[in-house]
Structure 1
Amino acid sequence: MVGIVLASHGGFADGIAQSAQMLFGEQSNFAHVILTPDEGPDDIKGKMDKAIASFDDQAEVLLLVDLWGGTPFNQANGLLENHPNWAVVAGMNLPMVVEALTQRMTNPDATAHEIATAIVEPAKDGIKTKPAELMPKSESKVVSEAQETGKKKTIPEGTVVGDGHIKFVLARIDSRLLHGQVATGWIPTMHPDRVIVVSDSVAKDEMRKSMIREAAPAGVKAHTVPIKKMIEIAKDPRFGNTHALLLFENPEDVLTVIKAGVDIKTVNVGSMSYSVGDVNANNVLSMNQEDVDTFHELAKLGVKFDVRKVPTDKEGNMDAILNKAQSLLDEQKK
């Protein structure tokens, strides 16, 4: 596995490493070093050497630095002289680090050079403006042309595409819906071509729908549909070649679509935010009595639970979580 070092002037590398690990969880063979105002080139080089020495394997190392020509870059560049398999990429931003970790996670045999090549475009694509027309004209033209190219003709109703059955690569309960952990962790792992947020309330909220569309990674379309529409989509043979990642806000909506015939066999339980009257079953799952009862009903229907925030997390014990939640709810009633 490629070892990754983030290096910067000041605390930038520390902050970006913390942000990345919020999305991916704790990472091994991953280090961050900084150059403080009272330090010089030898100090940052010593920190890089120490970080690399802590890796399980020093054969493949990727150094991501903040500024081309700056002291962290110069010292990282010097390390390459005796290590031709290593690579340095300057202009570090969070999309670059996210893509590096994604590449390493999805392809453990990738080399430092291969990952270095793969992270440049996502780093550039992470720079966008709102309104979109504030982007330089050349970039705006490319975006406009891509949107035109991506337009598709409507498939006539009743047409059978592929085997006529939509494929659900993941069904996830997450009150935050499409956010960083989904965009940078689950989507690269599960490879959907479409993300579908299933929510009656969000489907009526144009601002939230717009934010969800814009949060989708390049190459993946994001849609928000009410529950009734999701049930129709699941039965529509025109989606036979679609690989969808479903996002639900709560277990009740999952139960509704399953009872209506949507073929979901496993539910990833990621995050349920706290509301008044809930109890904290763990640090990311808050439930009320209806939630607990719904999970038990799903289990009776044969649904399996995969309790993980991100793909690299160790799977949680849903029975233990539900038992704790029930105990806290019982205590709350006294």
Structure 2
Amino acid sequence: MRHTSVSAALLAAAVIGGLGIPPSAAQAQTGPPAARAAWIKSCAGKSDLNRPCGHWQLVLRDGRTTVLRDASPTTTDHRGHKVSEPGALALSGDGRTVVYERARDHRLVVRPVAGGPVRELPRSLVPKGCGNDDLTVYVSPSGDKVLVDCADDADRVPSQVLTLATGKVVQIPGRDTPEGFSADGDEVLAHRNPTDNTIAEVAYRLDGTSVVRTPPQVVANAATLALAADGQTVAVVVSGDPDRKKRPRLRTYDLRTGELSGGVDLALKPDETPYHVQWGADGKLTAYVQTDEVETTAVVREFTVDTETGAATQTDRFTISKNRYAHVLAGE
């Protein structure tokens, strides 16, 4: 979930609008409706602090917008007290499944973006003593699995991955912080800090096995990472440098062998570092670039990236109002 920051302590408002969808994007939509993003607006609160309000809305790839009327605009802490932060919400990478915090009881639920029955997730996915405001939720690319992570200072509370079809739950050790699913949803990429000076990357298979490696600094300090369907190839985006006129760079890192590719410059401007990338099951890499200046309209652009040459082909574009509070992209 992305917020627009006014300062470290102040969040500004948010509304997605002005879709600017290329005709081909809407025409290419087939099958059930899929969401590109979810958003929630803001209202003025006490002490000049904005707060999320209204209903979460889904921006669909066919140009329509639908409302999640039973999704909570705000969340709660471990005592059940209201917190002026957005309720938990996540979208699958294909945009067809949404998980959210229900308004009437703050229970995590899942349903198709196209509509249909709402399924309650097990209460046990939220550990005892963990508030919903401490949760981070991820949905696998095809929407068949849900990961719930509780942030705790002691790093003892495990994250939990639920397979919706079977009800099976797999735990990921609390010392590891999830970063998202692999392209096929069979693994979870996470990181840990074994010492103050190192970061280890871990690919957890849902059969309980894992691959762990301490990567070079260029990987540890990457702007964003994504795990491929093979469970070991990590896309590594290195930030661009406008002052030095250096474009963002793409490299790949093999968790099993430790091999780091030489990489390629992305065909983007130095100030257009992708903030999110994801592999497709077909091996294609998608990158998202966003302008995100405070109190200005943000533009989100989706690119298909050629991992061999760095070529970036724009496949979608939409804008986000300067009054935004928070938004979530499909697969983020």
Same fold (TM over 0.5): no
Q: Which TM-score band applies after superposition, normalised by the shorter structure?
A: 0.3 to 0.5
Greater fraction of residues in strand: 2
Which structure is higher in RCO with an 8 Å CA cutoff and minimum separation 6? 2
TM-score (ref. length: structure 2): 0.33
| Larger Rg belongs to | 1
Of Structure 1 and Structure 2, which has the larger fraction of its residues in helix?
1
TM-score, with length taken from structure 1:
0.33
